[in-house]
Structure 1
Amino acid sequence: MLALIAGTGELPRAVVRALPQRPLICALETSPPDFVTADRLFRLEHLGSLLRWLRAQGVTQICMCGAVSRPDIRWQSLDLSTVFLLPSILRALRRGDDGALRIVIGILEGAGFDVLAAHEAVPALLLPEGIATRTAPGGEIAALARLGDRVSAEQAREDLGQACVIRDGQVLARETDSGTDKMLGGLPFGTALGGVLYKAPKPGQDRRADLPVIGPQTAARCAEAGLKGIIIEAGGVMVLDQTDVIRRLDAEGMFLWVRERPSP
């Protein structure tokens, strides 16, 4: 049986809709899901009890999907089952996003669960390699893609975001913890005309959680910013409501390039 630890955003709903059977849905009280109903809300102080409850429900696989903010911990509220996990929880809270997710995955696996990525649960969330839109990128876009690769590697070393806006060999904006839509919305009017959104997983990250996502809102924000198109890594970026995304980009004469990232 599959359980989701669902966060905010569209991804949990997309996963639930695509699965043949509704999974059990759990969520942190501090980051409840926007578009699905949780069967159980929990606090991090009660993680051990949650894992015991999941086993009692027959859960064998867990998929983490959606954005989650780091919760404040009320140490006096730790239950006995979670006390034994305290060293791992403390390490996770001191790490960046990638390090914290690796530790959380380790906790889940240590409790006997298989951790399943959202794109493993729903492979159709990944588009095949190639040009998904009617408009194709021009010859100069290949150089921008290589620049995006370098920026992605830098952001991995700094444990920052998974996207950037690039144009004419320059980086106009880098994603932070606020997310891609906030980055695009923060571009001063007209400064990104003719630019490109590049989005890919950070090299070396564990792809069972926090795989990048784009959707219709991303396409709309890119169009508002005057971008030429979007470059995403093949097999590394999930696309929600794919028909709508492609329709919006086609209407604006923009491209979506699903690109195989070259080996470093």
Structure 2
Amino acid sequence: MLALIAGRGELPRAVVQAQDRPVLICALDGSPPDSVEASHVFALERLGGFLRVLRARGVRQVCLCGAVSRPRINWLRLDLATLALLPKIRRALKRGDDGALRIAISILEEAGFQVIAAHEAAPDLLPAAGCPTRVQPDDTARLAAAQGDRVSDAQGAQDLGQACVVTDTQVLAREDAAGTDAMLAGLGAAPGAVFYKAPKPGQDRRADLPVIGPATAQRAAQLGLAGLIIEAGGVMVLDRGAVIDILDKAGLFLWVRERPL
């Protein structure tokens, strides 16, 4: 059985809809999902007990999927089953997002679960390399892509965001802890710039793989961007048909780009 630890956003619903087997939808207390309904909510202070519940329900695979806020811990609420996990939990809470996710995955694996990525549970979310829109990227877009690669490397080294808005010569916006939507919401008109998104170099791709969807495409069109560049094999696309339709109507491209080695 597959258990989904679901957070905010449309990704959990897309993963559930892709399944032809039962799914146990779980959520961390304080980070309720908004696209699916959780049947089991657990507190981090009772993580050990939660892992026992998963085993009792016949869960063999776990998928971490959707945005989750860092929890506040009430150490007085720890159950006995969680005491042995306390050192790892405390280390995770002190790490950046990527480090915390690595520790969370290790806890699940040591408890006997296979951790699978959202794109492994729903492979159709990863588009093939190429440009499925009518408008195609030009030489300026290729130079902007190289700029995006440099920003991605720098952000990955600091465990920051996965997206940016760039031209061939400028960086107009960088994603931070507030996320992609907040980055785009805070950006004024940027005609000719491109939206770039890719996984952080070296990140564990079983969790927090980047996602775009219709809202991203719509905002890019409103900002007057030239197009969107996403890493092939590294960025999931929700409701791909709607994304392409929005971009085609606005005259933007979607470039699913294979990143140079």
Correspondences of 1:231-250 after superposition (within 5 Å): 231-250=229-248
Q: Given the alignment, which residue of 218, 226, 229 partners 2:227?
A: 229
**Structure 1: distance between partners of 2:168 and 2:6:** 39
**Code of the aligned partner of 1:47:** L
Q: Given the alignment, which residue of 187, 197, 202 partners 2:200?
A: 202
The range that moved more, 138-147 or 95-104, is 138-147
The range that moved more, 62-71 or 137-146, is 137-146
1:262 corresponds to which residue?
260
Correspondences of 1:153-232 after superposition (within 5 Å): 153-188=153-188, 190=189, 192-232=190-230
The CA deviation at 1:22 is: 3.6
The CA deviation at 1:194 is: 1.0
**Structure 2: distance between partners of 1:6 and 1:59:** 15
Q: Secondary structure at the match of 2:143?
A: helix
Correspondences of 1:1-264 after superposition (within 5 Å): 1-188=1-188, 190=189, 192-263=190-261
* TM value normalised by structure 2: 0.99
**Structure 1: distance between partners of 2:38 and 2:170:** 43
Deviations along 1:177-211, one digit per CA (max 9) or x if unpaired, are 111111011013x3x11100000000000000000
Q: Percent identity?
A: 66
Q: Secondary structure at the match of 1:251?
A: helix
The CA deviation at 1:219 is: 0.3
**Structure 1: distance between partners of 2:111 and 2:39:** 20
**Structure 2: distance between partners of 1:38 and 1:108:** 19
CA RMSD after TM alignment: 0.7
Deviations along 1:88-145, one digit per CA (max 9) or x if unpaired, are 0000000000000000000000000000000001110000000011110111111111
The CA deviation at 1:168 is: 3.7
Gaps of 5+ in 1: none
- Partners of 1:16 and 1:22 within 8 A in 2: no
**Structure 1: distance between partners of 2:113 and 2:212:** 28
**Code of the aligned partner of 1:185:** A
Deviations along 1:186-239, one digit per CA (max 9) or x if unpaired, are 013x3x111000000000000000000000000011111110100000000000
* TM value normalised by structure 1: 0.98
Deviations along 1:61-105, one digit per CA (max 9) or x if unpaired, are 000000000000000000000111000000000000000000000
- Partners of 1:65 and 1:209 within 8 A in 2: yes
- Partners of 1:16 and 1:23 within 8 A in 2: yes
The CA deviation at 1:169 is: 1.2
Which 4+ residue blocks in structure 1 deviate beyond 2 angstroms?
A: none
